[in-house]
Amino acid sequence: MDTTHLAVDGYVDGIPKPGTTKGTASFGLAISPDTHGPDTVFSCIAYDPRIVTVMLTEIQPGDVIRVSGIVVQPEEPGQPAQFTVDSLDVLDAAPGSILHMTLERFGPYVVVFDADSDTVPVFTDSGTWVGEAAGPDAIATLIDAFEGRGPAADAT
């Protein structure tokens, strides 16, 4: 088994959940490359009670964090690496609240679904504003227009 001690910055990919073992927390951590390649998502687990408490009570999807710990490479290709977290620093809070907003990734794009609005803000995972789709059905049209593949007929 290939293990490495590593410290990385990334954003929380999904809502942190209690781990399968009592007193643990699990979460996805998305790491964006410097280029326009796909994100790498680590499957993270925390055992330290202080980190578990923060992950389950304060952290929300989209928060940018720095973690360090031990990474175990997967034995099967295509599976996420397992990251056992031993330290956590919150670098930046995600915009909005998870109570009525949801962030979802579409490749290198992040969209914000808000229960209080029909429109869907879209930006790249590096923070570049793409635009606002008139609704969920217009997201692909907006992204295509941003990439120069067609008009943004239903986007504003």
Q: Regarding predicted confidence, which is higher, 49 or 151?
A: 49
pLDDT tens digits, one per residue of 91-134: 988 776 555 667 787 788 888 887 778 888 888 866 678 888 99
Whether 61 shows a pLDDT value over 50: the answer reads: yes
pLDDT category at 155 given cuts 50, 70, 90 is: very low
Supply the DSSP string of 16-48, one letter for each residue.
EEE-SSTT-EEEEEEE--SSSSPPEEEEEEE-S
Map out the domains of the chain as residue ranges.
3-92, 101-146
Superfamily in which the 3-92 domain is placed by CATH: Nucleic acid-binding proteins (2.40.50.140)
| Mean pLDDT along residues 50-75 | 90
Alpha helical stretches, state H, the chain: 49-57, 139-146
Mean pLDDT, range 138-144, rounded to an integer: 92
Mean pLDDT of the chain: 83
Is the pTM above the cut of 0.75? no
